[in-house]
């Protein structure tokens, strides 16, 4: 039956807020609490009351008043339910940040603080948290065709490695950090490539370009505070235009050959360095020895000249003749044939000195073999003396006996 239908014993509609159909004003607060309590009691499975003809279990007819009222049962269960809900709420606020991550706490969506690794607690439904992995290294590759300083077009590929170092800046300063770093990479790479020549990009300047791109990328990201740290950039080998690919391949090959030749030369130099040093030392020692020899000979010749000079000053005529004879002896000793011109256009005389010297040597050997050693020595001396006296201009300058006779030279040599 609906609440506004007529009852059997009542007049007017049946209003749940009006007892007996009488208008008593606004509903009582106690009545509302009682109804809410009854609803909770019905949800918990308890009945409103116990019938008079039905006694609770465990009670007799004459037993005491052991019946529990519905009000006491409802209050205890409500407290238990509230306590359980409070415990669940407290437990739901516990969370743990792993060592590789950092967390930020938000209170109604607004940043409050940054939390480090470990266990933490927040009041659930009031505060929330977000975590970011700050040790993970992320990489991406950017590739495009760009214009160089000398007006050429080159295809460049760059790999960028980065990580998140500031959680607050990474989450709240920029809308899309990944897209921001890609745009900054494109800007930095185009700027550096535009200031470089094609030959440097393809060959020797790649390392310098890589360092400049990393510095430029860091400088671009710094004012925006993106919370991203650039770990490394890697410039991949650039590709020249297809029309000149073969020519640049030849250039690269030539540069490699140059480096190879230089390395081979360095290896050869290091291998033969000790041998060359030894040869240099030997040549220096020989030069020093030759120098000492020449100095000694020159010193001896000077001493001999000074001795002859003193004798020349004492007896000029004698020394002049002696020097004349020594000079002709030195000249004729190097020749085996002598031609003597006579006066009045007579025939030229030929003196076979080589045969005469050979015959004299054979005669000397025969005398040495047949005679006694001492007598042989005396005979040899007499023979040499007689030979020197007969051939005065052709004698040995070291034998002074040939010029000691005053009748031949008109002087007497004293040594």
In the chain, the percentage of residues whose pLDDT exceeds 90 is 33
Nearest by Cα to 185 from 213, 204, 149: 213
What pLDDT, in 10s, does the model give residues 327-337? 888 887 776 66
Rounded to an integer, the average pLDDT of 311-324 is 87
pTM attached to this predicted model: 0.45
Q: Say yes or no to pLDDT of 177 above 60.
A: yes
Per-residue pLDDT, 103: 93
Q: For 375-400, what is each residue's pLDDT tens digit? A: 544 544 454 444 444 444 433 444 44
For a pLDDT cut of 70, what percent of the chain falls above it? 69
Q: For position 230, what pLDDT does the model report?
A: 93
For 207-218, the pLDDT digits (tens) are 899 999 999 999
- Residue 155 clears pLDDT 70, i.e. is over it: yes
Mean pLDDT within 346-357 = 66
């Amino acid at each position: 039956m609906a609440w506004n239908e007529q009852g059997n014993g009542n007049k007017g509609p049946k209003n749940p807020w009006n007892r007996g159909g009488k208008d008593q004003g606004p509903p009582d607060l106690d009545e509302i609490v009682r109804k809410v309590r009854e609803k909770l009691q019905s949800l918990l499975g308890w009945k409103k009351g116990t019938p008079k003809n039905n006694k609770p279990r465990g009670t007799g007819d004459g037993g005491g008043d052991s019946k529990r009222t519905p009000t006491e049962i409802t209050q205890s269960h409500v407290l238990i339910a509230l306590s359980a809900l409070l415990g669940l709420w407290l437990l739901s606020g516990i969370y743990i940040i792993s060592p590789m991550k950092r967390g930020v706490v938000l209170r109604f969506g607004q940043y409050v603080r940054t939390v480090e690794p470990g266990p933490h607690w927040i009041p659930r439904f009031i505060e929330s948290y977000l975590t970011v992995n700050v040790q993970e290294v992320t990489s991406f590759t950017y590739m495009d065709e760009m214009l160089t300083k000398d007006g050429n077009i080159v295809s460049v590929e760059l790999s960028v490695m980065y990580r998140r170092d500031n959680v607050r800046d990474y989450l709240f300063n920029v809308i899309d950090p990944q897209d921001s770093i890609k745009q900054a990479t494109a800007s930095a790479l185009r700027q550096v490539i535009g200031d470089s020549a094609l030959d440097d990009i393809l060959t020797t300047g790649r390392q310098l370009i890589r360092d400049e791109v990393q510095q430029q990328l860091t400088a671009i990201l710094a004012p925006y505070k993106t919370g991203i740290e650039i770990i490394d950039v890697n410039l991949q080998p650039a590709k020249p235009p297809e029309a000149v690919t073969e020519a640049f391949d030849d250039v690269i090959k030539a540069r490699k050959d140059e480096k190879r030749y230089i390395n081979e030369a360095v290896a050869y130099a290091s291998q033969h360095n000790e041998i060359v040093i030894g040869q240099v030392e030997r040549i220096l020692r020989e030069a020093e020895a030759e120098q000492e020899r020449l100095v000694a000979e020159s010193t001896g010749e000077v001493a001999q000249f000074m001795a002859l000079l003193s004798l020349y000053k004492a007896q000029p005529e004698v020394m002049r003749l002696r020097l004349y004879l020594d000079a002709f002896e030195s000249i004729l000793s190097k020749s085996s044939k002598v031609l003597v011109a006579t006066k009045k256009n007579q025939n030229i005389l030929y003196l076979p000195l080589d045969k005469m010297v050979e015959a004299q040597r054979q005669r000397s050997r025969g005398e040495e073999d047949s005679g006694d050693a001492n007598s042989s020595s005396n005979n040899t001396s007499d023979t040499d003396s007689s030979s020197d006296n007969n051939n005065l201009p052709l004698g040995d300058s070291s034998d002074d006996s040939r010029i000691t006779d005053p009748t031949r030279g008109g002087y007497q040599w004293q040594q």
